[in-house]
Amino acid sequence: MSRLLFSALLMLGIVCAHADDAVPSAVTEALHSMVSKGKIDSITPAPLPGFYVVIIEGHVLYVSADGKFLIDGAVYDVPRHRELGDEQLVGVRKAGVARIPQDKRLVFAPPHPKYKVTVFTDVDCPYCRQFHKQIADYNRLGIEVDYVLFPLAIHPGADKKAETVWCSADRNTAYTEAMNGQNLPAKTCPNPIAELTTQALGMGLNGTPAIVAEDGSQLGGYLPPEQLAQRLDALAAHKGTN
């Protein structure tokens, strides 16, 4: 287990929110021996033979059924070219996005949106700025963009800039100005920035921009307008065949 994740888990209280009734006791015992604290959201059989997948506060781990092995890291399904952990977090992200009300988002939408994406964004993120410079193009393609402020710890002071945007009389205009590099006069007020950051981390998000579709699929990273529209079309077509 990485030192960063291990340290983070030590700060949390251990609770098992959901586990398959058939989970071997060796799996839960292994988790408790490795991590004395941490909220276990779910334990279910993994696509990886002989392993269970464990989700802890948005982090995906794999524990062998005999409790002898724990994998903390990306596990790929080679034939399908998919990272298993991302699939496991789709439901977590869908539920997490659904818990963020509209009044805690910055909405940039065309008159009649075809698609909606939630974009977790940081004012000091260069790719977030590139994304927003093209916001009119996303909207032109029928994509509603709901921004959720998610200042990253690697950007000192980004939380204060996010607060300034939130506390502005016209948040959308303030956000656009900030993304264009303007230094806005600092503002402070009651705000949901810390709450939204906690929610984003709990969804397994650790970078920006993070583009999440309504079904919980994470589509990017930065994607240019045409490419994002193509991904959303493909996602809609896939749903239509199921």
User: pLDDT for 126-152, tens place per residue?
Assistant: 999 999 999 999 999 999 999 999 999
What is the average pLDDT across 36-47?
78
Supply the range of the domain harboring residue 220: 100-240
Does pLDDT of 111 surpass 50?
yes
232 and 165 part of one domain: yes
Domain-terminating residue out of 29, 59, 85? 85
Domain-terminating residue out of 55, 85, 115? 85
57 and 138 part of one domain: no
Nearest Cα residue to 204 out of 108, 80, 94, 107:
94
* Alpha-carbon radius of gyration of the chain: 19
What pLDDT is stored for residue 4 in this prediction?
A: 43
111 and 197 part of one domain: yes
Instruction: State both tokens at 208.
Output: 């920006």
What is the average pLDDT across 25-52?
82
56 and 15 part of one domain: yes
184 and 76 part of one domain: no
204 and 112 part of one domain: yes
Whether 94 maps to a domain, the answer reads no
What's the distance, CA 104 to chain centroid? 16
Most confident of 29-38, 39-48, 185-194: 185-194
109 and 40 part of one domain: no
Does pLDDT of 26 surpass 60?
yes
127 and 191 part of one domain: yes
Domain-terminating residue out of 85, 114, 141? 85
Whether 172 maps to a domain, the answer reads yes
Nearest Cα residue to 217 out of 236, 201, 202:
236
Q: Residues 174-202, buried b or exposed e (16+ Cβ, 10 A)? A: bbbbbbeeeeeeeeeeebbbeebbebbbb
Judged by average pLDDT, the poorest of 46-50, 82-86, 87-91 is 82-86
Whether 127 maps to a domain, the answer reads yes
What pLDDT is stored for residue 5 in this prediction?
A: 44
Instruction: State both tokens at 72.
Output: 């903390």
Whether 113 maps to a domain, the answer reads yes
Please give the tally of structural domains in the chain.
2
Instruction: Give the model's confidence band at 47: pLDDT under 50 very low, under 70 low, under 90 confident, else very high.
Output: confident
70 and 107 part of one domain: no
Whether 143 maps to a domain, the answer reads yes
111 and 207 part of one domain: yes
CATH number, position 124? 3.40.30.10
164 and 213 part of one domain: yes
140: Cα within 13 Å, side-chain hemisphere:
7
137 and 178 part of one domain: yes
* Helix, strand, or coil (residue 107): strand
Whether 225 maps to a domain, the answer reads yes
What pLDDT is stored for residue 160 in this prediction?
A: 97
CATH number, position 46? 3.10.450.70
Whether 236 maps to a domain, the answer reads yes
What is the average pLDDT across 51-70?
88
Whether 17 maps to a domain, the answer reads yes
Judged by average pLDDT, the poorest of 29-33, 36-40, 209-213 is 36-40
